[in-house]
């Protein structure tokens, strides 16, 4: 089982009943399609912000975040829906990424490109560590990453509820503690890449149905967006200390 809470399938319990089996190249292609959707929609939202329609962009961002969460839950419990839910999720996250990126970009010059660079570098670094066997997706590592990921999700949820009650989380204010927490979260997101790679590779080896290419790409996209947004927050905190 993957440690990513959104990838709940045990590849040992799935069997190909009919049709084609998933492949690693197919999962990579699906991930590329999903990323392209996110970038295209994010550019649209960024343009809306640049034109001064901030209220519209804010509504799209909130709507995208809520719809994206619902789609993520549906996809995680119903992998067969991933050919539809994964692209829809990418659209929703594009609305969020575009608005958030614009806000950070206006506050700190060059921060968006730096966050993209960190995300890409981390992705390929973890891929190298995984392919060379330096980091192996053992059952113990899966359990540790799963527990850490769930803990972060609870932390995010607590912050969201606090904001609704008029008590926004102030830990990410550029303090040493806030920077340390962001670094820790980025590290947990990075290790989720290992779990995503492992899920896709084992899924192909066990000949899961072809729709799992979308499912695997969906899980990888979740990790990419998570890391990117947390990298933005980390860089913002570092810049605020200058």
Long-range contacts of 54-58 (CB under 8 A, 24+ apart): 57/98, 57/99, 57/102, 58/99
pLDDT tens for each residue of 55-89? 999 999 999 999 999 999 999 999 999 999 999 99
Cα–Cα dist 33/104, whole Å: 26
Q: Quick one: pLDDT band at residue 158, thresholds 50, 70, 90?
A: confident
Write out pLDDT tens, residues 9-23: 555 445 554 568 999
Average pLDDT over residues 121-134: 97
The helices-and-strands tally (H runs, E runs) of the chain is 7, 0
**Length of the chain counted residue by residue:** 242
Side-chain half-sphere exposure of 240, counting CA atoms within 13 A: 15
Predicted pLDDT of residue 1: 44
Match 């990410």 to its residue by tokens: 172
Which residue stretches of the chain are H helix? 24-50, 54-77, 82-107, 111-131, 139-164, 176-205, 212-240
3-class state of residue 137 by DSSP: coil
What pLDDT is stored for residue 145 in this prediction? 96
Q: Residue 45: its pLDDT value, please? A: 97
pLDDT, tens digit, 9 for 90 and up, residues 96-120: 999 999 999 999 999 999 999 999 9
Dump pLDDT digits (tens) for 186-226: 999 999 999 999 999 999 999 999 999 999 999 999 999 99
What pLDDT shows up at residue 169? Answer: 74
- Check: CB of residue 41 under 8 Å from CB of residue 33: no
199 and 142 Cβ atoms separated by less than 8 Å: no
């Amino acid at each position: 089982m993957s440690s990513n809470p959104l990838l709940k399938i045990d590849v040992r319990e799935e069997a190909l009943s009919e049709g084609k089996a998933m492949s690693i190249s197919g999962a990579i292609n699906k991930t590329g399609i999903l990323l392209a959707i996110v970038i295209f929609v994010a550019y649209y939202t960024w343009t809306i912000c640049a034109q001064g329609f901030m209220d519209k962009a804010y509504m799209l961002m909130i709507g995208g975040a809520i719809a994206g969460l619902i789609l993520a839950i549906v996809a995680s419990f119903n992998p067969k829906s991933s050919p539809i839910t994964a692209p829809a999720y990418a659209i929703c996250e594009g609305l969020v990424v575009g608005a958030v990126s614009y806000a950070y970009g206006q506050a700190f010059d060059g921060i968006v490109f730096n966050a993209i660079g960190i995300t890409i570098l981390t992705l390929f670094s973890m891929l190298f560590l995984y392919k060379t066997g330096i980091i192996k997706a053992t059952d113990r590592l899966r359990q540790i990453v799963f527990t850490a990921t769930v803990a972060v999700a609870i932390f995010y949820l607590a912050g969201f509820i606090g904001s609704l009650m008029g008590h926004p989380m102030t830990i990410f204010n550029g303090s040493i503690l806030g920077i340390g927490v962001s670094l820790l979260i980025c590290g947990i997101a990075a290790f989720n890449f290992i779990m995503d790679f492992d899920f896709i590779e084992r899924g192909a080896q066990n000949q899961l149905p072809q729709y799992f290419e979308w499912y695997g790409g969906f899980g990888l996209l979740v990790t990419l967006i998570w890391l990117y947004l947390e990298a933005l927050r980390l860089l913002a905190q570092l810049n605020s200390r200058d």
